[in-house]
Each structure stands twice: as C-alpha cells, then as structure tokens.
Amino acid sequence: MQETLPGFAGVKYSNSNVEQLKRILLMENAPEIFWGFDELYLEGMQIGCNGAVGSSYNFAAPIYHRVLYALSSGNTNEAAQWQARAAKSIEVITSFGYLPAAKKIMQ
C-alpha cells in the first residue's frame, strides 16, 4: 500500500474554526497546513501553519510580509497592526465586489 501521494504538498485550511485547526496541527503525521483565511493571517501563523494560500496575498504581499517580519521579530503588537491594515483593505475591496475589484487591482 502506498503511504504517500505523489505531488501532495499539504492542505489549504480556509475554515475559521481555529480550535479544529489546532487539533489537526497536533495530530501525529499531520500534513503541512497552509492557512487560507486572509483576514486572520496572523492567527494562522501564530498557531503554526506552514504557510498561506489566499487571493489578497497577490496584491497585498508587502503588508503580509510586514506581519510575518514583525511576528518573527517578537513584535506581536506591530504584527497585529499590520494584520488589521490587511483586513481593512479586504473590507474596502469587498465593498466594491471582492473578485472584480481584486482583479482590477492586480492589473
């Protein structure tokens, strides 16, 4: 019986149920988990996700880089401020219809 799937890199977790995610991350032989809830990027990284997959990272990467840098430097207050900025940008974009507005920003 095959123990692995060729090309399988991990799982994108887009559910806001953080308690469930914590239990998954504690499982023996847990797959790599990539956070998929952009508005809570900081929380996903703090919990221990291996990375992130999301649409806003395409146009707001500098903000998320600042979140990650502040977090890795131990400055959780600064990380939270940058995360709030990212969440606010998503809120504003959503008010114009998220997908069309995000596509226009990426142009």
pLDDT tens per residue across span 13-52: 999 899 999 999 999 888 899 999 999 999 999 999 999 9
Average pLDDT over residues 72-79: 97
- Of the pLDDT bands very low, low, confident and very high (cuts 50, 70, 90), residue 76 is very high
Q: Across the chain, what does the average pLDDT equal?
A: 91
Tell me the C-alpha distance between 102 and 104, whole Å: 5
Query: Given this model, what pLDDT does residue 30 score?
Result: 84
Tell me the C-alpha distance between 52 and 34, whole Å: 5
Query: Given this model, what pLDDT does residue 2 score?
Result: 54
Using a pLDDT cut of 70, give the percent of the chain over it.
96
79-to-99, 106, 107 alpha-carbon distances in Å: 26, 24, 28
In 1-107, the DSSP E strands lie at 11-13, 33-35, 51-52
